């Protein structure tokens, strides 16, 4: 059977439009948690970068404190050995103490150079740390705002879906059970689109199935223009209808 003659063609077309709207609402609802997850993941990545920079900053400060402690130890060694210089009378011991003092001074100089280098790194790390903290705060505020908007959109979509499903149930109940069963079977097999509106090219009058975009044969073009008639697309096997025929448009 290549055509279905039914006075419920318009009702079925209306049902298909309701189902497409419901499918769109379901898709929107399913997409919202994914968007929220993406926003949270992006924020987590930015926060991790901030924490890593903060850890590096604190590590530099810790290294600076360690060098300052070692400088203090070197200074204490110099002071101690200088006091000992006044107490020794042996020339060899005196020279040994001078060598120790020179070693402590050289170590101190090297440590102080290290501190100066670290101070430059700490200044840079401090600037980066503050910039990242500000950026993370800005990203977090934007993320929270977007998440709140998405959560509101989810509530609105859920309410719209509930209302649409109720209206759909009323419409479906008024359609012949056999016709509805055929519609549901095609819809399940064709990604939610059982009833495809036929597109008419204004300049040429060529008709194509909006489900698979294939052109209609001359016989199909005749069939789809008949009142109260649905015809199967030979390519995608969806039911086709012409809007101006089904809805009585000129």
Domain match, 66 and 100 both: yes
pTM of the model: 0.76
- Based on the domain organization, do 103 and 72 belong to the same domain? yes
Parallel, antiparallel or unpaired: strands 195-200 and 207-209? antiparallel
Mean pLDDT of the chain: 93
Helix (H, G, I), strand (E, B) or coil at 169: helix
**DSSP annotation string for 130-166:** HHHHHHHHHHHHHHHHHHHHHHHHHHHHHHHHHHHHH
pLDDT reading at 209 higher than 90: yes
Confirm if 20 and 192 have CB atoms less than 8 A apart. yes
- Co-location of 164 and 47 in the same domain: yes
Is 166 inside any structural domain? yes
Are 143 and 66 part of one and the same domain? yes
1 confidence band (pLDDT: 50, 70, 90): low
| Measured distance between the N- and C-terminal CA atoms of the chain, rounded to whole angstroms | 29
**CB atoms near residue 243 (< 10 Å):** 13
3-state DSSP call for residue 203? coil
Which of 149, 173, 197 is the last residue in one of the domains?
A: 173
pLDDT over 70 (residue 182): yes
Q: What is the three-class DSSP state of 209?
A: strand
Side by side, the strands of the sheet bearing 239-241 are: 3-5, 229-232, 239-241, 195-200, 207-209
Largest Cα separation within the chain, whole Å, is 127
The domain containing residue 210 runs over which residues?
176-246
pLDDT in tens, 148-162: 999 999 999 999 999
Q: Are 59 and 34 part of one and the same domain?
A: yes
Count the Cβ atoms, other than its own, within 10 Å of residue 118: 19
**Tally of domains in the chain:** 2
- Percent of the residues in the chain that have a pLDDT greater than 70, as a whole number: 99
pLDDT tens for each residue of 39-57: 999 999 999 999 999 999 9
For position 140, what pLDDT does the model report?
A: 95
């Amino acid at each position: 059977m290549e055509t279905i003659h039914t006075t419920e063609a318009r009702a079925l077309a209306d049902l298909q439009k309701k189902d497409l709207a419901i499918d769109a609402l379901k898709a929107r609802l399913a997409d919202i948690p994914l968007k929220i997850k993406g926003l949270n993941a992006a924020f987590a990545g930015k926060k991790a970068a901030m924490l890593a920079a903060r850890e590096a900053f604190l590590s530099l400060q810790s290294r600076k404190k360690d060098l300052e402690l070692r400088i203090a130890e070197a200074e204490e060694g110099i002071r101690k050995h200088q006091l000992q210089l006044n107490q020794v009378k042996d020339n060899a011991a005196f020279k040994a103490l001078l060598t120790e003092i020179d070693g402590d001074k050289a170590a101190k100089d090297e440590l102080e150079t290290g501190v100066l280098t670290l101070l430059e790194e700490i200044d840079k790390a401090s600037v980066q740390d503050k910039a990242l903290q500000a950026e993370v705060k800005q990203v977090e505020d934007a993320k929270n705002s977007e998440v709140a908007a998405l959560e509101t959109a989810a509530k609105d979509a859920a309410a719209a879906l509930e209302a649409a499903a109720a209206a759909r149930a009323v419409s479906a109940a008024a359609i012949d059970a056999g016709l509805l069963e055929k519609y549901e079977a095609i819809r399940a097999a064709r990604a939610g689109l059982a009833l495809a509106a036929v597109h008419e090219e204004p300049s040429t009058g060529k008709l194509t199935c909006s489900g698979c975009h294939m052109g209609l044969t001359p016989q199909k073009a005749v069939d789809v223009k008949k009142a109260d008639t649905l015809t199967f697309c030979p390519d995608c096997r969806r039911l086709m209808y012409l809007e101006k025929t089904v809805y009585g448009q000129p």
